[in-house]
Amino acid sequence: MPELRVISLDEVSKHNYEDVDKSCWIIISGKVYDVTKFLNEHPGGEEVITQLAGKDATVGFLDVGHSKDAVEMANEYIIGQLPEDEIPKSAAPSTPSGAAGGKSTIIKDFTEIMTSPTWTNFLIPTTMGIVIYVLYKTIFH
């Protein structure tokens, strides 16, 4: 992939669907997207995107749980990236949820594992299984 143009937050904020030619730029995980021409094609409607025009839309984009197709579609609209030091911590590609900021990474990772739905989905039935097994063993043997 060719080097992306570095675009500052300040420049992105000018493309807020009001100023510069009603253009609409958004930021997702540190990348800058010009979605002006995509707005009327967006299956989720124009407004969800225009209200984030000129701003970081990472959380919104990820929260919707966009399909793989949607993510690929989004790639077509990348026009640049934010300078390293302007990428919000919560929007870095490796930590989309950005929870528990400030804590040490070990505690943060542990919190993320324990609160992730996949873990609890697994943990609850497993714990119940163990409890039932122990009860069965103590009562019937």
Min dist CB 37 to ligand HEM, Å, is 11
Least CB distance from residue 23 to ligand HEM, whole Å?
Answer: 14
Nearer to ligand HEM, 34 or 108 (CB): 34
Residue (59 or 108) nearer to ligand HEM, CB: 59
Q: At 106, give phi and psi (nearest 5°).
A: -65, -50
Q: For residues 69 and 85, which CB has a smaller minimum distance to ligand HEM in the complex?
A: 69
Torsion of CA 18, 9, 63, 95, to 10 degrees: 180
Q: How far apart are CA 27 and CA 31, in angstroms?
A: 5
CB of 45 to ligand HEM, least distance (A): 7
CB of 77 to ligand HEM, least distance (A): 5
Q: Is 11 left (phi over 0), alpha (psi -120 to 50) or beta?
A: alpha
Nearer CB in complex with ligand HEM: 17/61: 61
Q: Please give the residue ranges that form the binding site for ligand HEM (CB under 6 A).
A: 26, 33, 35, 42-44, 48-49, 52, 57, 60-61, 64, 66-67, 69-70, 73-74, 77
Is the CB of residue 4 less than 8 Å from the CB of residue 81?
Answer: yes
E strand map for 35-135 = 78-81
